[in-house]
Amino acid sequence: EDQVTQSPEALRLQEGESSSLNCSYTVSGLRGLFWYRQDPGKGPEFLFTLYSAGEEKEKERLKATLTKKESFLHITAPKPEDSATYLCAVESGGSYIPTFGRGTSLIVHP
Amino acid sequence: DGGITQSPKYLFRKEGQNVTLSCEQNLNHDAMYWYRQDPGQGLRLIYYSQIVNDFQKGDIAEGYSVSREKKESFPLTVTSAQKNPTAFYLCASKPGGYSPLHFGNGTRLTVT
């Protein structure tokens, strides 16, 4: 059974204070790791897909990296508009059903 | 614009009543999913469908039912057998394979 653990559960940053969110996973044959952003009262919005260890993806202030056991979402010089819940999900061999972590709630103070 | 439409945004029902949540997509995606989201619980899979006229139970299917008569539509019925139906319900779709999900903006159901 696939397992995904995200940490920390909640993170408060000052504007401009860089940090990282962690997504640890246990799967039998990773086929894809996905990062999403969710604003309050909205559906999650897709950010990145990572398929193999060593892969990196970037978008504005966000950078996602992947190893064989975990993924990091690095946030560089965050702004208040980056405040949201960030969700991580994995899909493994033979299943097209993503398993989600519980998310990290990020608040960036001006 | 292509996307997933969930309606209504808010829904209120009395205990003991069945209620149906609508989910429509115009992305031409084969696979559709229903998730339930509770505070601190993350997303839990209720039902999924990878093709028309076929669907499978997820982790928490008890008290729920679905149909997939058309590719575009995947309605979810919350029955009176669901013991704790108050939650935020999310519908999602994807084209198939190992690809990201596209989500609707959810329906918040309150049962009193």
| CB-based contact, A98 to chain B, within 8 Å | yes
Is the Cβ–Cβ distance between A39 and A103 less than 8 Å? no
Cα A55 from Cα B11, distance rounded (Å): 42
Cα B62 from Cα B21, distance rounded (Å): 16
Mean pLDDT of A41-55: 96
Q: Report the run of H or E that residue B73 belongs to, with start and end.
A: none
CB-CB under 8 Å, A34 with B42: no
Residues A21-40: tens digit of each pLDDT = 999 999 988 999 999 999 99
Q: Which of A7, A96, A104, A105 to mutate to test the interface with B (most CBs of B within 10 A)?
A: A96
CB-CB under 8 Å, A102 with B97: no
pLDDT value at residue A96: 85
Query: Residue A94 above 80 pLDDT?
Result: no
Mean pLDDT of A36-65: 97
Residues A70-92: tens digit of each pLDDT = 999 999 999 999 999 999 999 99
CB-CB under 8 Å, B40 with A96: no
pLDDT value at residue B1: 65
Query: Residue A98 above 90 pLDDT?
Result: yes
3-state secondary structure of A88: strand
Is the Cβ–Cβ distance between B74 and B66 less than 8 Å? yes
**Token pair of B2, please?**
């292509």
Query: Residue B103 above 80 pLDDT?
Result: yes
Q: SS3 breakdown of chain A: % helix, strand, coil, rounded to 5? A: 5, 60, 40
Nearest to A9 by CA among A92, A97, A88, A75: A88
Is the Cβ–Cβ distance between B5 and B23 less than 8 Å? yes
pLDDT value at residue B40: 80
Mean pLDDT of B79-99: 93
Nearest to A84 by CA among A69, A62, A54, A64: A62
